[in-house]
């Protein structure tokens, strides 16, 4: 066991080393894109918990992300420090997620997808129309950057520049992966997979599927709230359009194209989906056409997603291989 | 509110509802056969409207022949899409079908944008300006036509499903694809046929409302979202569910907009859906 752990550290070093050097090698625009990818990686990994491991196609993740973003921005407008607003945003999104999950998870399959889609549309609509609170379609501007933290005699670390923000979000991403990995490796995680693979059978073994589905959905909502807060204080401007159902779809696409039944897959998906249009230069319309066609091609030729294909090649997939959710 | 305004809202609801019903009917048929939430169905509505628009404005065809040609070309396009896009993911998990449909939705909308630009165009119709008054409610002839033509098309489709051999085969496949295949029903031919009729119906819906709501590449989004709400409300795969669901949603929306708030008009559909599913998780007409 100890030896294995040692090996893991080597792998971790090999991956993290380049990631630490990365921001210093990128242009300003590339660094910005990287931070956006990191934030979406948090969203995609947490959505992946619901989609890939409990088998529920949720279409309201962007709404929960938006609630986190608005909560955090509005709290800092009320002079809360960012470092307090961030966990609160996670908690508020988590509570809303729980409240949405309770009725939605009673439905199954496509009914669940359309119910969550409805909640997603309603959340975006509230952000758009509750003008006294959210400024409506104009959005909130002038959101503060996170307060600098003191490094105990080594000066202070400001988060006004993208490089330090890259590390802040990166740490959060690692935290997300760590928590979700731990969850999946526990008894709870095994219960998740049993619910995904055969809900009736899991029920007959005494597994309360509703409780586990709700747990996964709520945990994912908390991370969506964190991601929202990180996004709001990075861009320092948010508007309802960023959190509509189109964003929910993009997130689902990241998860499935990357490989839903893995943790790394959604991260690969986020990189793939966000970086891809940049290769089409100034004509975003052509990029969207290519994007649509690539989605079709990937799904036809890699039904398990990019990471799923990769894992199959290595023949080390611990999950099911037939892939029917 | 006065009775005449109430009546006006109900009639508006019936007009919108007939469009929802036509789009939802195709969506529910496709779901019944392939179990795919076919998002791209909204783009056949958009392309049907564009095809009619170009036939009328460039070729000078009258609106009825244009609509028929548009329906035919959408049927053909639907069959092509079924063959090259949806058939390869037939045996994959349903989520893959959804993502493929979404990819197609995005690609088709942006291809339309590249070809024709984002401007909103009015489909010229001789009936759009003629107003008639019925029971103290005035409405354009076009709106009346939308309602009656869609009723006619829905009725024809119903006859096709209930009375023809092909329709019987479609119902058999929807009920149990494996047994249907054992009985010698060619599954692929059936799904091609379903895509053809569904796409033609969506194209007809686009052509009919083109003179009222205008034609542009992004016009397919709202109808397809609403159609999803309709078929979930009515119960996935249920044909009467899609028809009645469409009309109920149309009327509920226009009454809601008239009596409560028009800002949240599009929200009523989604709120109603959540309420219904909380009480009956398989939809109004769905099987347990």
B150-197 residue pLDDT tens = 999 999 998 998 899 888 888 888 888 888 888 888 888 888 999 999
A183 burial (CB, 10 Å; 0-12 / 13-18 / 19+) is middle
Measured at the CA of A133, the angle between CA A132 and CA A134, to 5 degrees, comes to: 105
pLDDT band at A101 (very low <50, low <70, confident <90, very high): very high
A106 touches chain B (CB under 8 A): yes
User: Given CA atoms B71, B73, B77, B80 in this order, what sign does their dihedral have?
Assistant: positive
Q: How far apart are CA B123 and CA B215, in angstroms?
A: 7
Q: Please tell me which residue of chain A has the smallest CA distance to B35.
A: A110
Among A11-15, A105-109, B73-77, the minimum mean pLDDT is found in A11-15
Min distance B134 CA to chain A CA atoms (Å): 36
C-alpha distances out from residue A42 to A36, A93, B220, Å: 10, 14, 31
Please give the tally of structural domains in chain B.
Answer: 1
A99 touches chain B (CB under 8 A): no
Nearest to A118 among B93, B94, B273 (CB): B273
**Are the beta carbons of A110 and B225 separated by less than 8 Å?**
no
Q: Output the pLDDT for position A325.
A: 45
Q: In which residue are the tokens 């045996």 written?
A: B91
Summarize pLDDT for A159-202 with one digit per residue, the tens: 778 888 898 999 999 999 999 999 888 888 888 888 888 888 88
For residue A54, the enclosing domain spans 28-243
Instruction: Determine which helix (DSSP H) or strand (DSSP E) holds A29, and give its type and residue range.
Output: helix A28-48
B277 touches chain A (CB under 8 A): yes
> Is residue B46 over pLDDT 90?
yes
What is the pLDDT averaged over residues A139-153?
80
pLDDT band at A321 (very low <50, low <70, confident <90, very high): very low
Min distance B266 CA to chain A CA atoms (Å): 9
Average pLDDT in chain B: 87
Mutation target to probe the B interface, by most B beta carbons within 10 A, among A296, A302, A325 is A296
Classify residue B144: in a domain, yes or no. Answer: yes
Structure tokens at B97: 């079908």
> Is residue A95 over pLDDT 90?
yes
B225 touches chain A (CB under 8 A): yes
Please give the tally of structural domains in chain A.
Answer: 1
Instruction: Determine which helix (DSSP H) or strand (DSSP E) holds A140, and give its type and residue range.
Output: strand A140-141
Rg for chain B (alpha carbons), in Å?
19
Give contacts of A136 with chain B, Cβ < 8 Å.
none
CATH number of domain containing B39 = 1.10.3470
> Is residue A316 over pLDDT 80?
no
Summarize pLDDT for A238-263 with one digit per residue, the tens: 999 889 888 998 899 899 888 888 88
Classify residue A307: in a domain, yes or no. Answer: no
Question: Which of the pair, B57 or A13, is modelled with greater confidence?
Answer: B57
A44, A254 in Cβ contact below 8 A?
yes
Structure tokens at B175: 């009920």
Min distance A20 CA to chain B CA atoms (Å): 34
Q: How far apart are CA A147 and CA A160, in angstroms?
A: 9
What is the pLDDT averaged over residues A194-217?
83
Backbone angles phi, psi at A237, to 5 degrees: -150, 130
Question: Contacts for B66-71 with beta carbons within 8 Å, 24 or more apart?
Answer: B66/B207, B67/B204, B67/B207, B67/B208, B70/B203, B70/B204, B70/B206, B70/B207, B71/B200, B71/B201, B71/B203, B71/B204, B71/B207
Min distance A34 CA to chain B CA atoms (Å): 24
Min distance B238 CA to chain A CA atoms (Å): 14
Spatial CA neighbour of A257 closest among A301, A223, A227? A301
Mutation target to probe the B interface, by most B beta carbons within 10 A, among A52, A209, A300 is A300
**Are the beta carbons of B107 and A296 separated by less than 8 Å?**
yes
Nearest to B110 among A108, A115, A292 (CB): A292
A275 burial (CB, 10 Å; 0-12 / 13-18 / 19+) is middle
What is the pLDDT averaged over residues B100-126?
89
Q: How far apart are CA A28 and CA A294, in angstroms?
A: 28
Write the DSSP symbol of residue A205.
T
Q: How far apart are CA A252 and CA A50, in angstroms?
A: 10
Q: How far apart are CA A57 and CA A196, in angstroms?
A: 11
> Is residue A67 over pLDDT 50?
yes
> Is residue B214 over pLDDT 90?
no
Classify residue B240: in a domain, yes or no. Answer: yes
Structure tokens at B157: 């489709």
A131 touches chain B (CB under 8 A): no
Give contacts of B269 with chain A, Cβ < 8 Å.
118
Summarize pLDDT for A123-144 with one digit per residue, the tens: 988 898 888 888 888 888 888 8
What is the pLDDT averaged over residues A37-64?
92
> B124 by DSSP, 3-state: which?
coil
Q: What is the ipTM of this complex?
A: 0.84
Nearest to A121 among B92, B104, B270 (CB): B270
Mutation target to probe the B interface, by most B beta carbons within 10 A, among A47, A60, A118 is A118
DSSP character string of A103-125: HHTTS-HHHHHHHHHHHHHHHHH
Give contacts of B274 with chain A, Cβ < 8 Å.
103-104, 115, 118-119, 122
Write the DSSP symbol of residue B132.
E
> A313 by DSSP, 3-state: which?
helix
Classify residue A97: in a domain, yes or no. Answer: yes
For residue B101, the enclosing domain spans 3-279
A170, A38 in Cβ contact below 8 A?
yes
Interface subset of B 30-89, CB within 8 angstroms of A: 31, 37, 85, 88-89
Classify residue B180: in a domain, yes or no. Answer: yes
pLDDT band at A320 (very low <50, low <70, confident <90, very high): very low
Spatial CA neighbour of A302 closest among B79, B80, B100? B100
Q: Output the pLDDT for position A282.
A: 59
Q: Output the pLDDT for position A314.
A: 63
Q: How far apart are CA A269 and CA A41, in angstroms?
A: 8
On the CB side of B40, CA atoms within 13 Å amount to 27
Q: How far apart are CA B137 and CA B22, in angstroms?
A: 25
Nearest to B107 among A57, A114, A293 (CB): A293
**Are the beta carbons of B92 and A57 separated by less than 8 Å?**
no
Q: Output the pLDDT for position B125.
A: 81
Summarize pLDDT for A264-314 with one digit per residue, the tens: 889 999 998 888 777 766 567 887 888 888 889 988 888 887 877 777 766
Summarize pLDDT for B55-100 with one digit per residue, the tens: 999 988 888 999 999 999 999 999 999 999 998 888 777 778 888 9
On the CB side of A200, CA atoms within 13 Å amount to 0
**Are the beta carbons of A292 and B278 separated by less than 8 Å?**
no
Instruction: Determine which helix (DSSP H) or strand (DSSP E) holds B195, and give its type and residue range.
Output: helix B187-213
Classify residue A259: in a domain, yes or no. Answer: no
**Are the beta carbons of A285 and B110 separated by less than 8 Å?**
yes
Classify residue A54: in a domain, yes or no. Answer: yes
Mutation target to probe the B interface, by most B beta carbons within 10 A, among A53, A112, A115 is A115
Classify residue B287: in a domain, yes or no. Answer: no
Spatial CA neighbour of A34 closest among A173, A159, A181, A147? A173
Write the DSSP symbol of residue A260.
T
Spatial CA neighbour of A61 closest among A256, A284, A234? A256
pTM across the whole model: 0.84
Interface subset of B 227-256, CB within 8 angstroms of A: 228-229, 232, 236
**Are the beta carbons of A300 and B283 separated by less than 8 Å?**
no
- H helix runs in B89-140, sequence order: 94-116
Rg for chain A (alpha carbons), in Å?
20
**Are the beta carbons of B270 and A119 separated by less than 8 Å?**
yes
Q: Please tell me which residue of chain B has the smallest CA distance to A299.
A: B96
Count, in order, helices (H) and strands (E) of chain B: 11, 2
> B216 by DSSP, 3-state: which?
coil
Other beta carbons less than 10 A from residue B106's beta carbon: 25
Classify residue B268: in a domain, yes or no. Answer: yes
pLDDT band at A324 (very low <50, low <70, confident <90, very high): very low
Classify residue B208: in a domain, yes or no. Answer: yes
Q: Output the pLDDT for position A315.
A: 56
Classify residue B285: in a domain, yes or no. Answer: no
pLDDT band at B117 (very low <50, low <70, confident <90, very high): confident
Q: Output the pLDDT for position A65.
A: 96
User: What percentage of chain B exceeds 70 in pLDDT?
Assistant: 98
Chains A, B: CB contacts under 8 A, how many? Answer: 128
Classify residue A254: in a domain, yes or no. Answer: no
B111 touches chain A (CB under 8 A): yes
C-alpha distances out from residue B10 to A144, B209, B226, Å: 49, 17, 18
Classify residue A94: in a domain, yes or no. Answer: yes
């Amino acid at each position: 066991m100890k030896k294995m752990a040692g090996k893991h550290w080597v792998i971790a070093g090999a991956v993290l080393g380049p990631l630490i050097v990365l921001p210093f090698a990128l242009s300003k625009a590339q660094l910005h894109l990287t931070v956006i990818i990191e934030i979406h990686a948090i969203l995609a990994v947490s959505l992946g918990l619901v989609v890939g491991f409990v088998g529920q196609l949720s279409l309201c993740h962007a709404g929960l992300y938006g609630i986190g973003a608005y909560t955090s921005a509005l709290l800092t407008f009320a002079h809360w420090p960012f470092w307090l607003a961030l966990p609160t945003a996670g908690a508020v999104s988590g509570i809303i997620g729980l409240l949405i999950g309770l009725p939605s998870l009673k439905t199954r399959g496509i009914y669940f997808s359309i119910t969550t889609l409805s909640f997603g549309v309603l959340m975006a609509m509230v952000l758009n129309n509750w003008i006294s609170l959210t400024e409506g379609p104009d959005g909130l501007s002038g959101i503060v950057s996170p307060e600098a933290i003191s490094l105990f005699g080594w000066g202070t670390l400001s988060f006004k520049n993208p490089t330090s923000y890259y590390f802040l979000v990166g740490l959060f991403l690692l935290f997300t992966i760590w928590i979700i990995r731990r969850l999946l490796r526990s008894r709870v995680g095994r219960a998740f997979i049993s619910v995904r693979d055969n809900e009736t059978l899991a029920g007959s073994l005494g597994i309360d599927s509703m409780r586990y589905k709700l747990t996964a959905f709520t945990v994912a909502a908390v991370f969506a709230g964190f991601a929202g807060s990180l996004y709001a204080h990075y861009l320092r401007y948010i508007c309802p359009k960023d959190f509509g159902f189109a964003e929910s779809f993009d997130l689902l696409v990241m998860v499935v194209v990357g490989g839903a039944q893995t943790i790394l897959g959604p991260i690969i998906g986020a990189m793939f989906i966000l970086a891809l249009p940049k290769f089409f230069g100034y004509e975003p319309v052509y990029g969207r056409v290519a994007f649509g066609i690539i989605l079709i091609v990937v799904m036809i030729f890699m039904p398990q997603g990019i990471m799923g294909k990769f894992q199959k090649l290595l023949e080390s997939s611990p999950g099911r291989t037939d892939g029917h959710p | 509110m006065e009775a005449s305004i109430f009546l006006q809202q109900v009639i508006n609801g019936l007009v919108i509802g007939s469009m929802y019903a036509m789009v939802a009917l195709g969506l529910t048929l496709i779901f019944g056969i392939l179990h795919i939430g076919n998002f791209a169905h909204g783009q056949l509505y958009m392309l049907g409207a564009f095809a009619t628009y170009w036939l009328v404005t460039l070729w000078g065809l009258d609106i009825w022949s244009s609509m028929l040609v548009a329906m035919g070309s959408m049927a053909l396009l639907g069959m092509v899409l079924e063959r090259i896009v949806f058939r390869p993911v037939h045996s994959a998990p349903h989520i893959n079908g959804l993502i493929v449909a979404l990819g197609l939705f995005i690609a088709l909308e942006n291809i339309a944008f590249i070809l024709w630009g984002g401007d909103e165009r009015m489909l010229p119709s001789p009936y759009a300006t003629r107003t008639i008054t019925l029971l103290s409610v005035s409405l354009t002839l076009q709106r009346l036509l939308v309602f009656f033509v869609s009723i006619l098309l829905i009725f024809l489709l119903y006859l096709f499903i209930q009375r023809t051999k092909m329709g019987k085969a479609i119902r058999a496949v929807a009920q149990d694809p494996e047994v249907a295949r054992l009985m010698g029903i060619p599954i692929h031919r059936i799904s091609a046929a379903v895509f053809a009729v569904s796409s033609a119906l969506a194209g007809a819906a686009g052509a009919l409302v083109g003179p009222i709501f205008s034609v542009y590449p992004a016009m397919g989004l709202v109808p397809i979202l609403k159609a999803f709400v309709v078929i979930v409300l009515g119960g996935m795969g249920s044909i009467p569910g899609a028809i009645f669901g469409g009309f109920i949603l149309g009327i509920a929306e226009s009454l809601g907009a008239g009596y409560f708030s028009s800002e949240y008009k599009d929200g009523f559909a989604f709120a109603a859906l959540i309420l219904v599913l909380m009480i009956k998780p398989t939809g109004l007409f769905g099987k347990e």
